[in-house]
Amino acid sequence: MPLPTRPTARSAVLAAGLAAVLLTGCSGGSGGGGGTAATPPPDGPHPARATPTPTPTPTPAGPYVALGDSYTSGLKIAPQVGEPRGCARSAVNYPSLLAKSLGLAEGQFRDVSCSGARTGDLTGSQQTEGGANPPQLDALTPATRLVTVGIGGNDAGFMEVVGECAKENLVDAVKGLIGSDRAQAPCREHYASAGGAADQVQRKVDAAGERLGQVLQEVKRRSPQARVYVVGYPALLPADPASCVPVLGSTVAAGDLGFLVEKEQQLNAMLKRRAEAAGAVYVDAATPSAGHDMCAGDVARWVEPPFPASGLAAIHPNAQGQQGMAAAVLKAVRG
157 is a domain residue: yes
Contacts of 22-26 with C-beta under 8 Å, sequence gap 24+, read 22/159, 22/162, 22/163, 22/166, 22/306, 22/314, 22/315, 23/163, 23/166, 23/167, 25/116, 25/159, 26/70, 26/159, 26/162, 26/313, 26/314, 26/315, 26/316
Residues 6+ apart with CB under 8 A from 187: 164, 165, 168, 169, 252, 253, 256, 259, 260
- Give the domain CATH number at 268: 3.40.50.1110
Is 49 domain-assigned? no
* Residue 146 located in a structural domain: yes
Band of pLDDT at residue 296, cut at 50, 70 and 90: very high
50 or 310, greater pLDDT: 310
Reported as a single tens digit per residue, the pLDDT across 297-332 is 999 999 999 889 999 999 999 999 999 999 999 999
In Å, how far are 74, 120, 139, 209 from 86, measured between CA atoms? 12, 17, 18, 26
Query: Residue 131: which domain range?
Result: 9-21+58-334
| 25-49: pLDDT as tens digits | 443 333 333 333 344 444 444 445 5
**Do the domain assignments include residue 140?**
yes
Q: What are 267-283's pLDDT values in tens digits?
A: 999 999 999 999 999 99
- Looking at residues 212-223, what average pLDDT do you find? 98
Q: What is the pLDDT of residue 194?
A: 58
Instruction: Give the tens place of pLDDT for each residue, 68-127.
Output: 999 999 999 999 999 999 999 999 999 999 999 999 998 999 999 999 999 999 999 999
Query: Does 166 fall in a domain?
Result: yes
For 236-260, the pLDDT digits (tens) are: 999 887 788 888 776 677 777 888 8
Tell whether 4 is covered by a domain. no
- In whole angstroms, give the CA distance from residue 109 to residue 231: 17
Rank 1-15, 213-227, 236-250, 253-267 by mean pLDDT and report only the highest. 213-227
Task: State the pLDDT at residue 199.
Answer: 66
Q: Is residue 222 part of a domain?
A: yes
**What torsion do the CA atoms of 166, 168, 173, 175 make, to the nearest 10 degrees?**
160
Give the pLDDT of residue 54. Answer: 53
Supply the pLDDT for residue 36: 37
Which is more confidently placed, 147 or 192? 147
The total domain count for the chain is: 1
Domain for residue 135, yes or no?
A: yes
Per-residue pLDDT tens over the stretch 180-216: 555 567 677 777 665 555 567 788 889 999 999 999 9
Q: Say which residue, 290 or 24, is predicted with more confidence.
A: 290
Query: Is 171's pLDDT higher than 70?
Result: no
Alpha helices per DSSP H over the chain: 9-23, 70-73, 94-101, 120-123, 158-177, 186-192, 197-222, 245-248, 254-277, 319-334
Predicted confidence at residue 108, as pLDDT, reads: 97
Residue 164: per-residue pLDDT: 73
**229 or 28: which leads in pLDDT:** 229
Mapped onto helix, strand or coil, the DSSP state of residue 47 is coil
